[in-house]
Chains A and B, each alone.
Chain A
Amino acid sequence: MAEIATLKELVYRADAVFGDEPFVREYLHRELRDKSFRTFRQDCDCFAVWVQEHFPNGVHAAVIGSTSYEYLTAWFGIQCSGNVTVPLDNANPAEKIADEVNRSDSEIVIVDKRHEGDIEQFRKLCPQVKYFIHLHEKQDNMLCLADIISEYSGKVPDSSPKENDLAAILFTSGTTGQSKGVMLSNGNLIDNATCEPDRNYRGQKRMTVLPIHHVFCFTCDVLCALWYGRILCVNDSLMRIPKNLKIFQPDDTTFVPMIAASILSKMQLAAEKNPDKIAIGKETFGENFSVIYTGGAYLSPEIIKGYEEFGIDIAQGYGMTECSPRICTGVKGCPKPSSVGRRVPGCDIRIVDGEICVKSRSVMQGYYKNPEETAKTLTEDGWLKTGDLGYVDDDGYVYITGRKKNLIILSNGENVSPEEIENQFACCKPIKEIVVYEKDNLITAEVYPNPDYASENIEAEIQQKIDDVNSGSPPAKRIAKLVIRDTEFPKTASKKIIRSLL
């Protein structure tokens, strides 16, 4: 159990324990820039005092940007003032951001370059917002974070947030309907970041790649770096992942499976010219590299095996925003690669009608101003209904078989999980993407063929693969119809296919 209960205490503890050691490392204009745990705490304090002075009765503040030292300073400065941070998806259009600013009752909006041109639109759409702040630059129509920090230099906030105080509202991107604001308390986030046994991570480098508004990135990269004293190396753009791996030489990183699969394909292409796969692995990930952690989508065992050949471990975990997010963590060299690992300490799992339900101190307080959805998701005795179908084996490993809401119920009463069928095509080279659904009471597979796959008759090859999978499946789970599409499937910002649009 952690000796701290709030995010403010986490920042203060990091300063006390790790002091001048580097916390955030960035590669800016071709130079490395480090910011220490101490500087971070000091800068957070400055911004916190400004927030307290301007909102003595409390405030919700929306932060919209890509990962940077300044972004984190704003995020945690709000925490150090005892208020609520609302991290929004930077990739969303201005109208969607404005809607979430309004639905979260935010009165401060903090942006970076990407949305600096939308401020006048935000002013019209969000009349309750009192201050707009730019994370990096001086602008005529808003404040600049650096100016605030400079003006309040040396000041210390007198806030004292509590464990059960709301810390953040995070909107789930949602593949159906309107996004929901997940309310996470200080205690929720601290529990999830500190639930694993102490590990000797101090001074090790974690490269952070995933979008920072996503709680998987926030907890596993940022909070864990503050807790363990790690160096957080900021990958500033998806296009620079390969280059930044070489520059930062990290010990580990977190990916979504799509990124892991793409990098594996590139290494496999290089291996056609150079058979020394271990050397290619080291060339790609650096000498220090140990393990890739993934989450957010299914990682096929073939990808795990593919990475093994290059000397790289890849571990799959499982979680959701509503659980801050970790429910299970994968481990290096997991003996059961088709599982999502074992539950994290302090997290209870039970299976109810095939659905995974979770109870832990990491489980959210509810959805912001949405008691109906909260009641559907949280039971009265505190169990979170994940919406995922799965099971736990005798050794405690958890397996996910699909999403409850995607379950296909055929007229003959058979229940079929589309993901269970789709996963069997995870490493089928002619198929880039596949979605299985029910149409006219038939199990239908819609496929986007792999444009890299050179073949005269790719459609026939895909049909052949489907026939092969069908022959090994029970009749109720066989694909009856194939539809070929010529574009990728529509996806959310976190690259999940939006099934409701099909």
Chain B
Amino acid sequence: MLEKLIELITQYIDIEPDEIKEGSRFMEDIGFNSYDFMCMLGDCEDAFDVEIDEAEAAGNKTVGALLAYLGGLK
């Protein structure tokens, strides 16, 4: 799952995949703005075949937290 999420992230942010860790924060460390982060969540719906609640998902501030949230939807 981590690899797939990293691939999605690199479609938005010009960042080397190995710089992205589970503890990386989307805004502060990776450099997302709020709108791009929302769009990336939308991509997660297709990539992981889940239906995301916008308000719940946006509360996940790190890569690891989002992975746990997505895992819980499966």
> Are B11's CB and A266's CB within 8 A?
yes
> Are B11's CB and A270's CB within 8 A?
yes
The answer to whether B31 has its CB under 8 Å from any CB of chain A is yes
In the assembled complex, the Cα of A240 lies from the Cα of B46 at a distance in Å of 10
Q: How far is the CB of A426 from chain B (nearest CB, A)?
A: 16
**Complex interface: chain B residues within 8 A of A432 (CB):** 33
In the assembled complex, the Cα of A241 lies from the Cα of B51 at a distance in Å of 15
> Are A239's CB and B38's CB within 8 A?
yes
**Complex interface: chain B residues within 8 A of A452 (CB):** 13-14, 31, 33
Across the two chains, which residue of chain B brings its CB closest to A270?
B11
User: What are the interface flags for B42-61 relative to A under an 8 Å C-beta threshold, 1 for contact and 0 otherwise?
Assistant: 11011000011010010000
Q: Which of A30, A238, A259, A266 contacts B12 (CB 8 A)?
A: A266
> Are A266's CB and B42's CB within 8 A?
no
The answer to whether B2 has its CB under 8 Å from any CB of chain A is no
Are A269 and B11 also in contact (CB < 8 A) when A258-B35, A262-B33 are?
yes
The answer to whether B7 has its CB under 8 Å from any CB of chain A is no
> Are A240's CB and B14's CB within 8 A?
no
Q: How far is the CB of A143 from chain B (nearest CB, A)?
A: 25
The answer to whether A501 has its CB under 8 Å from any CB of chain B is no
> Are A237's CB and B27's CB within 8 A?
no
> Are A241's CB and B42's CB within 8 A?
yes
> Are B36's CB and A243's CB within 8 A?
no
Interface residue total, chain B, C-beta cutoff 8 A: 24
> Are B14's CB and A262's CB within 8 A?
no
**Complex interface: chain B residues within 8 A of A237 (CB):** 38, 42, 54
The answer to whether B41 has its CB under 8 Å from any CB of chain A is yes
> Are A269's CB and B12's CB within 8 A?
yes
The answer to whether B39 has its CB under 8 Å from any CB of chain A is yes
Across the two chains, which residue of chain A brings its CB closest to B54?
A237
In the assembled complex, the Cα of A240 lies from the Cα of B42 at a distance in Å of 5
**Complex interface: chain B residues within 8 A of A30 (CB):** 51
Q: Which of B35, B42, B43, B45 contacts A259 (CB 8 A)?
A: B35
**Complex interface: chain A residues within 8 A of B33 (CB):** 262, 432, 451-452, 488
The answer to whether A502 has its CB under 8 Å from any CB of chain B is no
In the assembled complex, the Cα of A265 lies from the Cα of B33 at a distance in Å of 12
CB neighbors of B among A253-284 (8 A) = 258-259, 262, 265-266, 269-270, 272
Are A239 and B14 also in contact (CB < 8 A) when A258-B35, A451-B27, A451-B31 are?
no
Q: Which of A266, A272, A488 contacts B36 (CB 8 A)?
A: A266
> Are B14's CB and A454's CB within 8 A?
yes
Q: Which of B11, B12, B32, B52 contacts A239 (CB 8 A)?
A: B52
Across the two chains, which residue of chain A brings its CB closest to B34?
A488
The answer to whether A242 has its CB under 8 Å from any CB of chain B is yes
Q: Which of A241, A243, A454 contacts B45 (CB 8 A)?
A: A243
Across the two chains, which residue of chain A brings its CB closest to B27?
A451
**Complex interface: chain B residues within 8 A of A269 (CB):** 11-14
Q: Which of A239, A270, A272 contacts B42 (CB 8 A)?
A: A239
User: What are the interface flags for A344-366 relative to B under an 8 Å C-beta threshold, 1 for contact and 0 otherwise?
Assistant: 00000000000000000000000
* Interface hub of B28, B33, B36, B43 (most chain A Cβ within 10 A): B33
Across the two chains, which residue of chain A brings its CB closest to B28?
A451
In the assembled complex, the Cα of A432 lies from the Cα of B12 at a distance in Å of 16
User: What are the interface flags for A407-435 relative to B under an 8 Å C-beta threshold, 1 for contact and 0 otherwise?
Assistant: 00000000000000000000000001000
Are A239 and B31 also in contact (CB < 8 A) when A452-B13, A452-B14 are?
no
User: What are the interface flags for A21-57 relative to B under an 8 Å C-beta threshold, 1 for contact and 0 otherwise?
Assistant: 0000000011000000000000000000000000000
In the assembled complex, the Cα of A418 lies from the Cα of B34 at a distance in Å of 25
In the assembled complex, the Cα of A432 lies from the Cα of B33 at a distance in Å of 10
Q: How far is the CB of B10 from chain A (nearest CB, A)?
A: 9
In the assembled complex, the Cα of A259 lies from the Cα of B38 at a distance in Å of 11
> Are A238's CB and B14's CB within 8 A?
no
Across the two chains, which residue of chain A brings its CB closest to B12?
A266
> Are A262's CB and B39's CB within 8 A?
yes
> Are B31's CB and A262's CB within 8 A?
no
Given contacts A239-B41, A239-B57, A432-B33, 4 further A-B contacts (CB under 8 A): A238-B35, A239-B40, A258-B35, A452-B14
Chain A positions within 8 Å of B, measured between CB atoms, are: 29-30, 237-243, 258-259, 262, 265-266, 269-270, 272, 432, 451-452, 454, 488
6 residue pairs, one from A and one from B, having the closest CB atoms: A239-B42, A239-B38, A451-B31, A240-B42, A239-B41, A452-B31
Contacts A/B (CB < 8 Å), 6 sampled: A240-B42, A262-B35, A269-B11, A432-B33, A452-B14, A452-B33
